[in-house]
């Protein structure tokens, strides 16, 4: 198995899906001739031709709308939005069309489309290029929302998203595109879209997150281990449908939880996880649930970007606060 970066794993999964199923079509701004802004679609035009790899105008709402139409006609479009900050104009199509098509037609039609995009900061990009607005999509019934944190999981989850009969928003952590390499077998095996992944077991505290911050959680777990504390690290990976059972089971063992994400604190998806722990998980808690998140402000690019994005030190501080209880 070759070691590849996350962006290469995305490319590998797209090529695998297109090779297996002629109904899979890739579309978006510069995805063809230029291979995408991060080269996630590099080489696909030469391999599959202009009828299956379509360069579109700079019109995100149109990209989403065209994808809905293609999906309704039994294609499986995979649409790229260049940055998550440009995706908000797609919400009209995703909320009012894609997410409702199955219900509106009483199951006669489904909408097997993927809307994929880089998300999150850490690459010192201009305004609108570093946002992590996953909560906007998690509040739309009928959408799946996926946010992987490694090349291997990106490959398997993207294959699952493309094969799913319903619409999936697939968020790719920008700062992990080329940050690390991992053995990825191009075996066509999909990963489940309805469960978390436990990356490290521990009995003292549970660290929960998704996307790029998962690497920071693992680094924080290493630091805690040096202090004699064992952290369990859970990659949520699929935010909707949310695998609450895995997190509740972990917290039942550890009694403590730190929830981490790049998005702002208020109404971030971490608040939903905290609400689950405050309900069926309440009697397991030995300490208040901690949230380590971005700030409730516009991303302060470029100089303060890394002060906005939570990292290892803030995760450690929250974990140590939690561990002082009881």
Helix then strand count (H, E) for the chain reads 12, 14
Helix (H, G, I), strand (E, B) or coil at 77: strand
Selected catalytic residue, list 128, 129, 261, 325: 129
Nearest-angstrom CA–CA distance, 171 and 36: 15
Which H, E and C letters describe 188-249, residue by residue? CCCCCCCCCEEEECCCCEEEEECCCHHHHHHHHHHHHHHCCCCEEEEECCEEECCCHHHHHH
246 Cβ neighbours under 8 A, 6+ residues apart: 195, 196, 198, 234
Beta-carbon-side half-sphere exposure of residue 93 (alpha carbons within 13 Å): 25
- Measured distance CA(294)–CA(12) in Å, rounded: 31
Strand partners, 206: 232, 257
Q: Are strands 181-183 and 3-5 parallel, antiparallel or unpaired?
A: antiparallel
The residue count for the chain: 326
Please say if 128 is a catalytic residue: no
State the DSSP H helix or E strand holding residue 317, giving kind and residue range, or none if neither. helix 312-324
Cite the active site residues.
129
């Amino acid at each position: 198995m070759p070691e590849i970066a996350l962006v290469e794993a995305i490319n590998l999964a797209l090529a695998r899906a297109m090779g297996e199923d002629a109904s899979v079509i890739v579309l978006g701004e510069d995805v063809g001739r230029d291979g995408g802004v991060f080269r996630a679609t590099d080489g696909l035009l030469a391999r599959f031709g202009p009828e299956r790899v379509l360069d579109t105008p700079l019109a995100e709402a149109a990209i989403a709308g065209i994808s809905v139409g293609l999906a309704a006609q039994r294609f499986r479009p995979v649409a790229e939005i260049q940055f998550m900050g440009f995706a908000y104009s797609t919400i009209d199509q995703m909320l009012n069309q894609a997410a409702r098509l199955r219900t509106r037609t009483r199951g006669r039609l489904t909408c097997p489309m993927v809307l994929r995009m880089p998300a999150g900061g850490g690459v010192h990009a201009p305004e609108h290029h570093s946002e992590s607005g996953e909560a906007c999509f998690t509040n739309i019934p009928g959408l799946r929302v996926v946010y992987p944190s490694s090349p291997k999981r990106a490959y398997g989850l993207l294959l699952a998203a493309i094969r799913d009969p319903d619409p999936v928003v697939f968020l790719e952590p920008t700062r992990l595109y080329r940050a690390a390499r991992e053995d990825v077998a191009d075996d066509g095996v999909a990963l489940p879209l309805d469960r978390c992944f436990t990356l490290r077991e521990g009995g003292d505290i549970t660290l929960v997150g998704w996307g790029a911050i998962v690497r920071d959680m693992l680094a924080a777990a290493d630091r805690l281990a040096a202090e004699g504390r064992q952290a369990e690290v859970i990659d949520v990976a699929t935010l909707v449908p949310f695998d609450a059972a895995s997190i509740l089971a972990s917290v039942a063992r550890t009694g403590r939880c730190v929830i981490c994400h790049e998005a702002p604190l208020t109404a971030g998806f971490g608040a939903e996880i905290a609400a689950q722990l405050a309900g069926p998980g309440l009697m397991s808690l030995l300490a208040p649930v901690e949230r380590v998140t971005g700030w409730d402000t516009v991303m302060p690019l470029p100089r303060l970007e890394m002060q906005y994005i939570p990292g290892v030190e803030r995760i450690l501080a929250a974990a140590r606060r939690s561990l002082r209880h009881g």
